[in-house]
Structure 1
Amino acid sequence: MMKLPRKNRLRASALGALAVSGALLLTACGSDNNTGTTGGGGGNNTSAKNVKCDGAKGKLLAAGSSAQKNAMDLWVKNYMAACGGVEINYKSSSSGEGITSFTQGVVGFAGSDSALKPEEVADSKKVCTSGQGVNLPMVGGPIAIGYNLPEVKDLVVDAPTLAKIFDDKIKKWNDPALKKLNPSAALPDKAIQTVHRSGDSGTTQNLGKYLGKAAPNDWKYEAEKAWPAKGGQGANGSAGVAAQVKQVEGSIGYFELSYATSQSIPTAKLNTGAAAPVAANSENASKAIAAAKIKGTGKDLALGLDYATKAEGAYPIVLVTYEIVCDAGNKPETLGNVKSFLGYTASDEGQKILSENGYAPIPAEINTKVREVIAGLK
């Protein structure tokens, strides 16, 4: 038997593993399991009514960000109900794994909570034979700071305090800094147990961007996908972090709001310097995302977010999940599916699902450009 070059063997192995995972889990209902595959997730939304299937058929593999998993569950469920000849398999893992799968040519599109780096764009050109990977903002939302402290129902934190907590500089819940922010709360003399993502994560990177911009004197780490600080406990995916916070009294962690909502985990308000502390909710995240500017060029729509905003009612710990696609050079067998499915997710109907499920829709002005790029994919 002819032995394939190592690069091809790795690509074939990744494709086989993803295909097997998708086949095994295609019919499973959606859950918070970050290693699962979306194939018709849960949710009580009605099926989509205005989907343009446009002859889409066959299977479409995708992978990446767990931040958008709950939205993707609903999108896939609704889309597959409308377009019966298509099977969408979204493997929820991490932004880093999604980008790797994309640049190896394993998936039709990837989800990432951070825009492609220059070296990743260069890698994408090997797959996008006549183009390159571009970032299409599709899902917005707050990164909630969830905590397990039965004594306190309305916790307030600010960026410097949060930085010190996650950097293991503030170790007790009754620390003077927390007392100052919560003068009427019965803060216990209890150890703080921090929980963070164990693998490469766009959620981690976005939290790092916020702490670096809003508390530069207390958070000295670069905003990378790998957790940078010492101490704390790592957990797999947003679902894993949420599960640990839910189970361990005295713990605190970070994850997308939908995970806090689904597990009834209380979330902290942020003292941003505005008139009142700001809660983590879709409306307040939308106020922060609405101020974003497109920093990408051409068909790339990567956004620049203001993590240090003090605007009234704006919740600044936000992320935007991008669907990463080839602007040109897509595989003919998946191009129709990619355009049809992402056309639905970017539609008014698809975006409405976000605000109903703990996410924030992409601002209309930006989303109009997203739709234009999707329509022009080739």
Structure 2
Amino acid sequence: MNLKRNGALLGALAVGALTLTACGSDDNSGSIDVDASASRATCEGKPNLSAAGSSAQKNAMDEFVAIYIAVCSQKGKTVNVAYNPTGSGDGRTQFIASQIDFAGSDSAIKGDQAEQALTRCAGSPAWNLPLVFGPVALAYNLEGVDNLVLDAQTTAKIFNGSITTWNDPAIAALNEGVDLPDTAVTPIVRSDSSGTTDNFQQYLEVASDGAWTSGTGSDFTGGVGEGAKGSAGVAQAVSGSPGSITYVEKSFADQNGLSMALLDNGSGPVELTEDSAAKAIEGAGFSPSGEGDLTLDLSSIFGTTEEGTYPLVLATYEIVCSAGYDADTAAALKSFLTSAANEGQDGLGEQGYVPLPDTFKERLTESIDAIASE
């Protein structure tokens, strides 16, 4: 599919298209040249969908919605998807309460919440559909240090308070010849429930060789650091705080002009690039689950020692009912997700995400097609 964006749209997407809130998205269809005949989106069903959740996927969702509006406009349909980036935990809560049509979450819905979703979905299970992949940057503000190298163990010690100054011997050993300042390290962490936090802590637990012992989950467990809300919030906090460091999706680090650490997974330092992150995604497997659910087994990514692989990658799921929607909602949801999984992926690299590999697209599309109404 051929996509052309004018400068205004690029600017709007780059700052997160702030007009896309619970009230919906501005109609950007006039700014995108898209070949709707190549899209499988039917543009059928109800015209307006609602969703909330992960702030990590907000910029990707802006892209998906703008492209979907353009596709359906050419097909004579007026559509919109109102996505509110309230955080993964809140998105799952709203989904269970039937307040939105689907949720965005950096962590799969599971356990008690999956049980509660059975009621929301008229007795059918909720499915986790990975639609957006984004590498998580260790973004820092340290004057004079442009290519900081960290590994999982030193990162764990920074975020559990064991390392408190930037010239700590453990950091210095990874950065030979670099003049590290004798200044305090200020970790910036998510204050809200966040799938980014969950994935970050899972990475530390898997890869830090026992240095991370406080557990995982959507709430930060390390016990140190200053809190900020949302991906935009932590990135902005680091931007204004010399000596600070955070974990945040690459797109937000890019927007704030932050330096990003190279990660040594045991096979040498690896720069965060689309290719190094894609290499990690290609090695991901799926957890045993019901047919149609695509919950990922990310332990093989976080613990990889493959050369040239950037291991700190998260997947953002769209949480949907496998069945139980009314016919109009099911049709609209399948149409939008089909567009997002296909032509919607084309511009994601420009937003700091990693487009879905073709094998993922095929499997994801099969699950989207299987979503059923009552």
TM-score by length of 1: 0.88
Q: Report 1:249-264 matches (<5 A).
A: 249-264=242-257
Distance of aligned partners of 1:377 and 1:291 in 2 relative to their CA distance in 1, 3 Å threshold = same
Distance of aligned partners of 1:36 and 1:58 in 2 relative to their CA distance in 1, 3 Å threshold = closer
* Maintained 8 Å contact 2:19/2:26: no
Q: CA deviation at 1:106?
A: 1.0
Which residue is 2:319 aligned to? 324
Task: Write the deviation string for residues 20-41 of structure 1: whole angstroms up to 9, x where unpaired.
Answer: xxxxxxxxx6644699446149
Which residue is 2:3 aligned to? none
Which residue is 1:280 aligned to? 272
Instruction: Quote the Cα distance in structure 2 between the aligned partners of 1:226 and 1:47.
Output: 41
Which residue is 1:6 aligned to? none
Distance of aligned partners of 1:317 and 1:97 in 2 relative to their CA distance in 1, 3 Å threshold = same
Distance of aligned partners of 1:203 and 1:101 in 2 relative to their CA distance in 1, 3 Å threshold = same
Which residue is 2:124 aligned to? 131
- Whether 2:365 is the aligned partner of 1:371: answer yes
Q: CA deviation at 1:45?
A: 8.3
Task: Write the deviation string for residues 219-276 of structure 1: whole angstroms up to 9, x where unpaired.
Answer: 00221000101121000001000000001001000100001111211100011111x3
- Whether 2:347 is the aligned partner of 1:353: answer yes
* Maintained 8 Å contact 2:189/2:228: yes
Instruction: Quote the Cα distance in structure 2 between the aligned partners of 1:139 and 1:172.
Output: 35
- Whether 2:304 is the aligned partner of 1:309: answer yes
Instruction: Quote the Cα distance in structure 1 between the aligned partners of 2:133 and 2:244.
Output: 26
Which residue is 2:7 aligned to? none
- Whether 2:293 is the aligned partner of 1:300: answer yes
- Structure 2 gaps of 5+ residues are 1-11
Which residue is 2:339 aligned to? 344
Task: Write the deviation string for residues 61-114 of structure 1: whole angstroms up to 9, x where unpaired.
Answer: 001101111111111112112224112100011111111111111111111111
Which residue is 1:190 aligned to? 183
Instruction: Quote the Cα distance in structure 2 between the aligned partners of 1:169 and 1:140.
Output: 31
Question: Aligned to 2:260, what secondary structure does the other structure show?
Answer: coil
Which residue is 1:289 aligned to? 281
Task: Write the deviation string for residues 173-209 of structure 1: whole angstroms up to 9, x where unpaired.
Answer: 1111111111111111111111000011000000001
Which residue is 1:207 aligned to? 200
Question: Aligned to 1:229, what secondary structure does the other structure show?
Answer: coil
Instruction: Quote the Cα distance in structure 1 between the aligned partners of 2:229 and 2:293.
Output: 30
Runs of 4+ with >6 A deviation:
41-45
- Structure 1 gaps of 5+ residues are 1-28
Which residue is 1:99 aligned to? 92
Distance of aligned partners of 1:357 and 1:171 in 2 relative to their CA distance in 1, 3 Å threshold = same
Question: Aligned to 2:320, what secondary structure does the other structure show?
Answer: strand
Which residue is 1:55 aligned to? 44
Instruction: Quote the Cα distance in structure 2 between the aligned partners of 1:301 and 1:68.
Output: 17
Task: Write the deviation string for residues 124-167 of structure 1: whole angstroms up to 9, x where unpaired.
Answer: 11111141210111111210000001110110001110000011
Question: Aligned to 1:291, what secondary structure does the other structure show?
Answer: coil
Which residue is 2:53 aligned to? 64
% same residue: 40
Which residue is 1:25 aligned to? none
Question: Aligned to 2:221, what secondary structure does the other structure show?
Answer: coil
What is the letter of the counterpart of residue 329 of structure 1?
A: G
* Maintained 8 Å contact 2:105/2:318: yes
Instruction: Quote the Cα distance in structure 1 between the aligned partners of 2:303 and 2:26.
Output: 38
Question: Aligned to 1:356, what secondary structure does the other structure show?
Answer: helix
* Maintained 8 Å contact 1:137/1:362: no
Distance of aligned partners of 1:236 and 1:42 in 2 relative to their CA distance in 1, 3 Å threshold = farther
Instruction: Quote the Cα distance in structure 1 between the aligned partners of 2:283 and 2:297.
Output: 9
Distance of aligned partners of 1:243 and 1:109 in 2 relative to their CA distance in 1, 3 Å threshold = same
* Maintained 8 Å contact 2:21/2:82: no
* Maintained 8 Å contact 2:45/2:327: no
Which residue is 2:115 aligned to? 122
The number of residue pairs the alignment matches comes to 348
Distance of aligned partners of 1:44 and 1:177 in 2 relative to their CA distance in 1, 3 Å threshold = farther
Instruction: Quote the Cα distance in structure 2 between the aligned partners of 1:263 and 1:43.
Output: 27
Given the alignment, which residue of 56, 71, 76 partners 1:82?
71
